Structure 1
Amino acid sequence: MKLKSVLLAALLASAAIPALAQTPMPEDPLDDRSVKRVERMEKVVRELRSIVFQGRDTGKPVVVQPAETEAQILTLGERIGDLEQTLQRVNGQNETLTHDLDQARRASAEQKTRSDALEARLAALEAKLTALETAAVEAAQVAETPAPLAPPADPAVAFKQARQFLLDGDYANAEAAFLAYVTNYPDNPKAPEARYWLGETLFVREAYGDAAGAFLGAVRGWPQTGWAPDATLKLSRALVALKKPADACKTLDELAKRYPKAPPAVVSRAASTRVAAKCA
């Protein structure tokens, strides 16, 4: 009922406004303000008429909805509250992650310190182990070096004794005996053969440099003996071990040239040595 009364009054006012507008009014300083007030009133009337006609056309009661500003404000406030709570949770998680990260960094630094210390200790132990191994090798070499033997006065007896050492597998004493023989009897006809057997004892213990020297002394002059082809082959193999392939290939060429009737076993090993030396 109140809404209908308000609308009726608005309509009456709108009807009266044109009449008032036609009545001449005295001019005064308030004309401009009066015009603006009238314009505002006309706008309100037009809006009210629109509402009335809308109700008449649709047949439905006109309900003027109050502004939902307060509800929207409440909704926005709730959303802001939710965002603040979420932000607080995120901040808390960030603080926890930062704390965990700091702890992980400290643990990593401590682990690196321990690792560096262990590596230093390991390097020191490896150095000590290397020194001990070197000392052990040197001690073994000293132990293997045969003590000088007093050779028999008879060269034949001395050679026979040295040969027996070799047959018994006593390479240390055999080496010492043959070395004593070539030292004491360098001009004896058996001296080249003694050098050959001396080279054998040296070759067995991988003293390739000394072995090559002994074999070279044995084949000097290219003696035509049963052991000469094997001595020449052993010389080439010692040169291969000493990483002198060119010299080894030349020695093998001389083997084929000087001893064309060498035993098949020597010829076979010579062929494999050529492959090892990469001879042309």
Structure 2
Amino acid sequence: MPDAVPASPATPPPSFPGLVARLRAAGCVFAEDEAELLRATARTSAELAAMAHRRMAGLPLEHVLGWAGFCGLRMRVGPGVFVPRRRSEFLVHRAARLTRPGAVVVDLCCGSGALGAALAACAGPVELHAADIDPVAVDCARANTAPVGGRVHRGDLFTALPPELRGRIGVLLANVPYVPTQEVGLLPPEARDHEPREALDGGADGLDVLRRVAAEARHWLAPGGSLLSETGERQVPAALHALTGNGLRARTEHCPERSATVVIGTRPANGA
């Protein structure tokens, strides 16, 4: 969990230009946009002052606001919860192309549950399940998936899921951690200091968790069902090997505008 932020001083909130200047001095690149969001979210002047203080102390903007924008929706987030990245919208868009009405959709390593909730909102109705090992993330995911009827389970990867889902999953979202261990320290402070290490660290080459998912995915996917996971460009060959080595037909899709790369593994339709 992140370190506590010192209580904000009992001073009046700055003017808008003053707030922008203070955010910029604290290193906020999009200071004007952040100032607008803080002003729009705060219910009182005292709350605005407190939120500004927390942001300038280094907390992620989304944790300060209590929500993150994702696929045109507001997703609840809070301290200790991985903030969904805008580049992951590409994964949701690709998953939507594969999602049929009534399909079983699973958001594994769900964090806030943003991916599953967004997919259900744009491609529903679906039977949505989400799972994470972190109880803080599970509580957040329950709030985000409730409007689309999602069920959230706590546990380690597939062990969290109801056994009756084996062989029935049409779309498996697995936005697993994929930052190599030695590179976690190079992440922006907002991520490395305020998000769970287990949501970032993917092991020596960043693919430890993906390999664990790929090893079991074929047994949980329906014939013709697909696993989708985000990865780094230089990790693509090894990621594809992890999928094909476990009986899935694999391919890659890339979005230059979002710097997003998705690997897709599909169980053969003949059920093999």
Give the TM-score taking structure 2 as reference length.
0.26
More strand by share: 2
Structure exhibiting the larger radius of gyration computed from Cα positions? 1
Return the structure number with greater relative CO, CA threshold 8 A, min gap 6: 2
Whichever structure has more helix as a proportion of its residues is 1
